Structures are given as C-alpha cells and as structure tokens.
Structure 1
Amino acid sequence: MINNKPVEGPVCFIQIQIKTTEERYGESQMEFLCLLWALEKLHYYLDGTVFDVITDFKAVKSLSNTKTPNRNMMRWQIAIQDYRGNMTIAHKSGNIHKTSDGLRRWALSNTPGNPAWVPQEEHHIDSICVTDIGTEFFHQGKESNKMDKSCHILCQLLLKDCKDPPLSSKLDEIWKKAYYEGRFHLLDGIFYHRTKNTCFMALTDIALINIILHECHDSVAAGHLSEDRTLERVKTCSWWPNWNKDVAEYFQTCCRCQNGNRATGKKFRMMIQIQEPKSPWEIVHMD
C-alpha cells in the first residue's frame, strides 16, 4: 500500500550463483532452473496463494505440460507439483517486460527522482601521497651499469643489434638466458627487462636494489605487507638477477615483520612414552 492505494511493486530481489555442473546446461534448462530456484526461495510468499509467473522465455510454459520429459525435466515437474493449480506461467515479450528487464539492463541513476534513492555521504580527502623517482636514481643506474661486466657486454650486444655468440658467451648465466629470450632493451643508457607487455628497469647496484626493497616493503606507502604482496610490488617496478630470492630474504630478515607475525599453533615435541595399563579400560585414548 502506497498512500492508501494498492500498488504493484517488487517484494525482494534475489540472485543465484550457478554451480560448475550447471554451467553446461542449455538455455532452456537454465530458465527452468531459475524458476525452480525462485519458487524454492520465495516459498513463504507463495505457499497457499494464487500467483502468476511472467517470463520472457516462451519455453518455460512447457515445463508443466511436457508429455515426454527427460530426466531433469521429470525431476523439475515433480518439484512444482505443490504449486499446480495455484501457479500460472505466462509469456511476456522482453520488449514490454520492463519490470525485470529494466532493472537489470537499464539501472536508474541515484537521484532524488529515483524511488530507491539513497543519499550518499561525502568523504573528504585527508591527504594525497605521491611517490616519484628522481633523476639521481636513473643517473646512478647508468653509472652502475658501466661498472658491471654483464651490463658492459650486454650494451655492446644491443648496440650491434645482432647475435654475437663469442661475446654473449661471456655473460653470466642468468643474463645470458634473458638475452637469448630477447628480454633486454637499451634506452638512454638504461637497461630494461621485458616481461610480456611491460618493461622494467634492470638494476645491478646494491644501493639501488636496497632503495627499491625499502620503498616496496618498509616505507609508509608500503606498510610492511606480506612476502607475496612485496614480491608483486617489486615485480612491477624493477628487475635484477635472483630478485625473488633477495625479496624473500629481505622479508625474512625484517625485524618488524618477524615480531608481528609470530608463529601460531602448538610446538613440535618428542613423542611421550605412555605407561602400560595394568587392567582393561584403565587408559582410554581418543583421536
């Protein structure tokens, strides 16, 4: 009742997440399954009342009068026997069936003109944190590449833009494997390591690597996240040989993380020798 007048409107909105076995159902079976599930969930509204089922799928009307049903159809027909005589299945074209289609295909904006309007709270921004890499970082990266043997050889190979087996054989094993896979690019004197569709700066200087580890784990923006989250952050900004092992070691040696993430559960102990019983039912054990 709205303003003391009977008005037709929705009672509730329900949805279902289908199971893995139900994903193989055809279109008709999915519509039948939807009807059966809705009758089950809305049983307390429909029990003992006369109601209409309005659907935009015409094949649903054949659920109650199919003469040669298959195994699933027969099981579903038995499930709706309690509603036979009170339920009428009617077909309504989707173009004019706007009661349900309009809700799921054309949602109303959250404005005062919407009957379901909900006022939204304003949340003011307290602060904005921006992290940027200075030019000194890139300059130090260029200088460190000149001092590294593998980077010096790799620079010659990339400038030649051709395979040089005698020269590439002098690379360290990790650098050699990545080079043959075509993962290195040279731009403005800086090496970049390519992974799928993204490129990240390749580092060799221990000081720069420690800066990356600090910013991805210890800094205020990082917040001492877990090892997996730290690996994801490092993975999206830089690369160096055995970087995943270095990140794992850095996380395991972080004092704050080790103090905060204490091991739970019972400690491992030696098995205790049980005293041999003297009479039946003297000692009872349950596992």
Structure 2
Amino acid sequence: MGHYAVNQTRHAFTHVTSVVRSTAATIAILAATLPVHATTLAVIRTPDQVIIAAADSLLVWYGGDRRPQLTCKLDTHDDVIFATAGLVASPENDFNVQTFVDMALATPGTLAERAQVLERLLEGRLLGTLTRIRHELPRLFAKQLESGFVLNVTLGAVRDQVAQLEMRDFYAETEPDGTLQLRVARVSCPRDCPQQTEVFGVGETSAMMGYLGTLPQLPAELPRLAEQLVRIEIADRPELVGPPVDMLRTSNAGIEWLRQKPACAD
C-alpha cells in the first residue's frame, strides 16, 4: 500500500510479515496477456476521523470469462466502516470476504483484536482459493501475481474520541519450488500514524502519490481530497480503474456516507 504523511515525507512502513504455506504441486504459470481490472482506495486518517474513498469498477470472472460490473467496496457494521478490495470473491463463489468481515466484526473486542480475528479467518481460506485458481485458471493467476497484491481489508472506527484504523494487505508469493504463500502487511493506527494526517493508497496508487508529492500542504477539506485522489487514479489508469467513487467517513459525529451509488444503498 502507498503511504503519505502530512510532513511530506513519503515512506513505507516496516510491516510485520506472516507467512502461510501450501504444499500444492508446482503448476506452470502461462505468460499470457490477460487484462484484469485493478482497484483504488484512498484512506485518510486524522486523530478524530477516518475517510475511505473507493473506485467501484470491478472485473468479475465467471468460468474463465470476464464481465465488468459495479461493486460495493464500502460498507458499515455497527460503528465500523470498512472497505474490501482485490479478490473479494472467488470465481466459483466459494470465497466471499464480506462473510468473514461480518463474522470478525460480530466478535467482541477492540478494533485491533477484531482485525486479528479477520486476518486469521482469511489466511487459510484465501490461500486455498488461490491454490485452486492457480490450478483451474492459470492465466488469471499469473496476471494477479505480476503485482503480488491479492486482497485488502480496511477497518475504521472512532472509539473514545480517537480514530482507529486497521489495514491488512494480502500478497501472493511463489517460492522457487512452487510453494504458494501469503504475506500480510499490517497498519494499525493510532500506533502506526504518528503524523496529524496520514494518507494511504491501496491498489493502483502511483498517480495519486505523485500528486500528493506536489502539494505544499494538504488541503483542509479532506473528504474532497480523498475523492480527488481516486479520480486522479481513474484518469491515469482508465483501463484498470473506473468510476463511480463511493466515500465513507467515521468521526465523533458518527458514520456518514459522503458518496454512495444507489445500488449500494440499504
């Protein structure tokens, strides 16, 4: 994930890495051109709010055929806002990240503890799904591994007047012997958010991070910035990222949908 702090120093977090291994046999990966739509999230965290903006075009696979459709990447659960991006469902619908998010957020505990529960729920099932896709849809699997990014789950809440943010990026890696593994990159705020304003990008982020680097300071209107960052990425990579843009905010005032397409309204 891309990261930008208000002091204009762009750097990467040192992520704790967890590895889950599969003993699946080596399967050749076909080097074929196979366009797959990517995703973009812009996440802004300050001490008292979390804002998530998402581009909502997704390419869904059915039996090897790709069909573009709009998806609801943002949602809420009680006082938590969350986003899911990447491989949110398997081609045969035997894996759906929304189910695991609902399960994790229904458990008692802090947001960080719920994120740990979610990570454990996802790791084994996601690895099994990737192993099956590698076997049944090798071209799709090969294309996904070009970047390594598989799935992001982002959770945000305000508890005791402090904005909390939990982000998990799952990356697929193949060892020389063909063993498939998952690497998990984690962000947990306020611990990992020392600056007054932190901006994170998920998926396609090069254009938005380049734009942030040109700003002398971040604008005061952060929701507008979040939307602008996603639209910049859409304009830069229209073949990968598409509109519309949905946006959620949680603050001391509660949860607010700033943008929501009608198809995702309750």
Shorter-normalised TM range:
under 0.3
TM-score, scaled to structure 2: 0.22
TM-score by length of 1: 0.21
Higher strand share: 2
Higher relative contact order (CA 8 A, sep 6+): 2
Structure exhibiting the larger radius of gyration computed from Cα positions: 1
Between Structure 1 and Structure 2, the one with more helix by share is: 1
